[in-house]
A and B are shown apart, each in its own frame.
Chain A
């Protein structure tokens, strides 16, 4: 079973860029049929799908995040990354990386990392 682990700063200042990386182990990120995803959970709330990337670089984002979002992939490091620009307190959440099966469900998840937006 593939393993995923998020990493990045736990505190980001308002208006700055939130950057996270997900390292995938026990399986190549370039295996076909899977899409590498980000999902977040606001404090005390449900889950929100952010977006995903295919190993080829094709992306699909949640429109609710407007033009603030960039997801990229580095197959040589078996990693994919999230950048969210112009953050506000509303972006405070636990961020999960996950593997999306071709049929649309998320079959492997990271443990999640809390990112707090505060000055």
Chain B
């Protein structure tokens, strides 16, 4: 099973700042990586797929990069609605796995 390790566990930032979230895979997944935003009581929301392609309706403040084992989600200018938990997910192997999440909180 491919393990995804996200860092940091918690990121404290202020609106307007830039947020950088990391996801490292224990084995290569090429670009078979997606990012999701999850708020309490809501359905997770797909942000990025294929490591760098924004999903429909996702603002261009969100960008993804990386391939192989190291991936980054960048939120260029944080807005109050962006504070949530973010998960990465790989589909590079037949058993899909998620990272443990990064909580983005307001500083």
Contacts and interface: CB of A to CB of B under 8 A. Distances in A.
Nearest to B97: A49
Interface stretch (B14-22, B43-51, B65-73, B74-82): B43-51
Interface in A88-119: 96, 98, 101, 103-107, 109-112
Please classify how large the interface on chain B is, using the bins under 10, 10 to 19, 20 to 34, 35 or more: 20 to 34
A47 B98 contact: yes
A46 B99 contact: yes
Contacts of B87: 46-47
Interface residues of A, number: 21
B98 A60 contact: no
Given A104-B32, A104-B91, A46 B96 contact: no
Chain A to chain B: the 5 pairs with minimum beta-carbon distance, closest first: A104-B91, A109-B43, A105-B34, A47-B98, A105-B49
19 contacts: A45-B100, A46-B98, A47-B44, A47-B101, A48-B98, A49-B89, A49-B98, A96-B44, A98-B44, A101-B49, A103-B32, A105-B49, A105-B91, A106-B36, A107-B55, A109-B43, A109-B44, A111-B41, A112-B43
Interface of A: 45-49, 60, 62-64, 96, 98, 101, 103-107, 109-112
